[in-house]
Amino acid sequence: MNISELIAQKLPDLPDKPGCYIMRNREGKIIYVGKAVSLRKRVQSYFRNTTLHKADPKLRGLLKSAWDIEWLTARSEAEALLTEGKLIKEYKPRYNVAFRDDKRFLMLRAEPSEPFPQFKVCRFARNDGAVYFGPYVSSRAARLTLDFVEKHYGLRKCEPRIPDKETYRHCINDIVRYCSAPCIGKVSREEYVRRFQEACAFLRGERIHVFDKLKEEIKQCSDKLDFERAADLRDTLFAIKEVIKQRTRIVQGPKTKKEKAIAGLSELKKMLNLKKFPHIIECFDVSNISGTLSTASMVCAVDGIPAPARYRQFRIKTVQGINDFEMIAEALERRYKRLLEEKGEMLYKTYLFLTFLFNTNNSSRIIFAVKIPDAPEGS
């Protein structure tokens, strides 16, 4: 089985880092998304002779259809898993089976505006003024974290928005000394809200002493041979640290991501004197190591929101040494010449071309203008 030239060129450039890899077919459609602890080892393993010979029909079909490959690096395996799930849900690649249902990773949600706020598990973050912590890569991690926070800070579990004495009659949490029982006045509303705010600060990683206390409790449980409890506490500690490390806490304020994007597009439309909002924005940058291994990267936003699946990388082929202008020119030429061949005059109806003046000789603009013809009149 032959490997496409595009993939063969990119295999040596794969980083030895966690992340997601994206396989596309000849038409540029995403056909598979995967995650890896090491992108280099995982992706290269697909194209070894032993793998190609022993592959099952599904894998053979995938490798036969794969024409191009891209990747996104992540800070941890957990973050890569979250990104993988998001991409699969968005693009529904043909060769992916996992994540096809509508399940999402769990988060903790609370409404600070409630008289006695409490945390609950949810799968969706909405624009409702609530605060969200997560997502957690497993339901067990989310529920262990919720259990620890409720017990440590004495937060309530009961369903009523405003608990009262009738609620207390059917509650066992105070009896087992987990709840601070605001329903019968054991703590004031002000004290309960303070506890809730401390819990939020802990979930943000701002209460280091609680982590130290948790570690000490793990040690005590181990000394008492209560290994099951120690394991639960250890997993709780790991789950909270993973969320903090990823910094994926979501706070829905007065504006949603879409509203912020529209505000930014409005400002751009005004600055550039455009007739309408730019639908697709593509930005380029180049990098090299002392004039070698030159690469151009393209990031993309659709309707003002980053679209990682549209990101591209270009290995610079025609430029020697350090010349950012010429490298940008090559990347622009390759990108839009291909689009021009595929879309024809429709390209000018969907893409906005901006001319940038580089340095005094304007070299990149001239090269770009020579290679890419001007838009037809009236387009």
pLDDT tens, residue by residue, 158-168: 776 666 666 65
pTM across the whole model:
0.43
- Please state the domain count of the chain: 3
Domain assignment present for residue 376? The answer is: no
Tell me the per-residue pLDDT of 2-29, one tens digit each, with 9 for 90 and over.
Answer: 778 888 889 999 999 999 999 998 888 8
More confident residue, 217 or 242: 217
- Rounded to an integer, what distance in angstroms lies between the CA atom of residue 95 and that of residue 23? 10
More confident residue, 374 or 216: 216
Domain match, 55 and 124 both: no
Tell me the per-residue pLDDT of 220-275, one tens digit each, with 9 for 90 and over.
Answer: 888 888 888 788 778 777 777 766 665 443 333 334 466 778 888 888 888 878 88
Domain assignment present for residue 328? The answer is: yes
Average pLDDT over the chain reads: 77
pLDDT bucket at 351, cuts 50 / 70 / 90: low
User: What is the model's pLDDT at position 163?
Assistant: 66
With a CB cutoff of 8 Å and minimum separation 6, the contacts of 190 are none
Handedness of CA 223, 154, 246, 33 (dihedral sign): positive
**Would you say residue 109 has pLDDT above 80?**
yes
pLDDT bucket at 365, cuts 50 / 70 / 90: very low
Provide, for the chain, the percentages of residues in helix, strand and coil under a 3-state DSSP scheme, each rounded to the nearest 5: 45, 15, 35
Residue ending a domain, among 225, 251, 277, is 251
**Would you say residue 102 has pLDDT above 80?**
no
- Which structural domain range is residue 281 located in? 257-371
User: What is the model's pLDDT at position 23?
Assistant: 92
Per-residue DSSP letter, 37: S
Q: Number of helices and strands (H, E) in the chain?
A: 14, 11
**Stretch 316-333: mean pLDDT, rounded?**
85
Domain at 319, CATH number: 3.30.420
pLDDT bucket at 60, cuts 50 / 70 / 90: confident
**Would you say residue 355 has pLDDT above 50?**
no
Domain match, 146 and 37 both: no
Domain match, 128 and 78 both: no
Q: Cα angle vertex 158, ends 152, 160, to 5°?
A: 135
Domain assignment present for residue 189? The answer is: yes
